[in-house]
Structure 1
Amino acid sequence: MMALTHGFASLAVAVVVLPVIGDHVGGPLLLAAFLGGLAPDADLLASHRKTLHYPVGFSAVALLLFAAFSLTGWSALLLLTVAVGAAALHAVSDVLGGSAEREPWNPTMDTGVYNHVLGRWHRPRRYVRYSGAPEDFLVCLAFATVAVSSAVTPAAADVTLFWLVALAGLYTLCRKRLAAISTGLGNLVPTQVRTLLPTVRIEETETDGTTVDIRFGR
């Protein structure tokens, strides 16, 4: 699923749950939920859905942090709980999507999300076939609607969320043609400048999933 889908999912859960558990709600917590939902996908530059995806570890740490917050009432602990809980939701829900490979719409691998405790990959359920699939955008839109329609998010944030949904829609439209678009844009760049741009190579293995290798200079 798209990183934005995960971000909106975490934000939707936050705007529903946080007001219920008390008065601890505000901009920093909502931002922590959204950014925590995005964070695991930073491993696109390493082993995707393995390096920063900890479905068990994040969940356990989030529970411990919430227990500590319940005992102390420290707002900083709640902030950490929300961020780590959002990352846990991301890692756990990735198993519902497609595989971590270059063209997940033509699946050849069963790398859903890596479980560091068991030392193996969970197979993808493919309810959402791949990041940027039409159903992925619909899920993203549904969670965004929950967040925007909530009285918890301020008007300025709603405008930002609207543009992020538009960005997700554009990504969905271009998803299967990203490689061709990138090549086409690259061909428009003068040869002298092109040698200064980074080269991107995608590597796939059964043990490490998809790794994006970025190198400068040719």
Structure 2
Amino acid sequence: MMLPTHALVGLALAAPLALYAPELAPAALLGALVGGILPDLDMYAGHRKSLHYPTFYPLAAVPAIAAAFVWTTPVSLAVAFGLLAAAAHCRMDIYGGGLELRPWEGTSEKAVYDHASGRWLSPRRFIAYDGSRGDLALSLVVGLPLLAVLEGAFVPVVGVALTIATSYVLLRKHLANLAPTVFSQVPEPLAEYVPERYLHE
């Protein structure tokens, strides 16, 4: 699923604190936002493998959440919600499309790499692919209520995420068609960081 969806889901996980413990909410929301985004920082370095840990993030989140209950501080909450959001991110990618330039074609059986089992997990395609209408619908269902619940700097963050999500859905297939042409022009020192699927599909 697209990055804005992951960011919004991360914020949604921590949003209840905005209602029930507003003094703790900023740290939890920031941690959840970072955790929702973190796995996709591997976009150009082993995407859905280098920073995606569908087994280890959940395992790490359990003691972190327990610790945050016992020692409730901004740092413990940020870490707990960050790991929880990263775990949700990796699970969500499994329920989306495969790792390919045109995932609507359904030619890839690689969704997320599971380091625990040493193999790629197959895509379930409940959400057809990142940037699909279903992906946008999920972003809207999660994001619009956040505009009413959150305050301060997180409101424009949600607004920007929804704007990017909508734009990406409108441009998704056009971008896939442009990618081989654009990335084939990347200077040689940077070419090694371009995913092969961007060059040859």
TM-score by length of 2: 0.85
Deviation by residue 1:30-56 (Cα, 9 ceiling, x = unmatched): 122112101101111111111111111
Give the Å deviation of 1:156.
Answer: 4.6
Q: Which runs of 5+ in 1 are unaligned?
A: 205-211, 214-218
Alpha-carbon distance in structure 1 between the residues aligned to 2:36 and 2:103: 21
Which residue of 2 is the match for residue 175 of structure 1? 172
Alpha-carbon distance in structure 2 between the residues aligned to 1:158 and 1:83: 19
Give the Å deviation of 1:121.
Answer: 1.5
Q: Which runs of 5+ in 2 are unaligned?
A: none
Which residue of 2 is the match for residue 82 of structure 1? 81
Bigger strand fraction: 1
Alpha-carbon distance in structure 2 between the residues aligned to 1:11 and 1:28: 11
Alpha-carbon distance in structure 2 between the residues aligned to 1:60 and 1:185: 40
1:111 counterpart SS class: coil
Work out the number of aligned pairs and report it.
Answer: 197
Give the Å deviation of 1:12.
Answer: 1.3
Q: What RMSD, in angstroms, separates the aligned Cα atoms of the two structures?
A: 2.7
Give the Å deviation of 1:115.
Answer: 1.3
TM-score by length of 1: 0.79
Task: Give the 3 Å change call, closer, same or farther, for CA 76–106 of structure 1 in structure 2.
Answer: same
The residue correspondences of 1:91-130 to structure 2 (distance < 5 A) are 91-130=90-129
One-letter code of the match for 1:72? W
Give the Å deviation of 1:64.
Answer: 1.0
Work out whether 1:13 is the aligned partner of 2:13: yes
Task: Give the 3 Å change call, closer, same or farther, for CA 181–101 of structure 1 in structure 2.
Answer: closer
Which residue of 1 is the match for residue 146 of structure 2? 147
| Structure 1 residue runs of 4 or more that deviate by more than 3 Å after TM superposition | 17-20, 179-186, 194-201
Which residue of 1 is the match for residue 196 of structure 2? 203
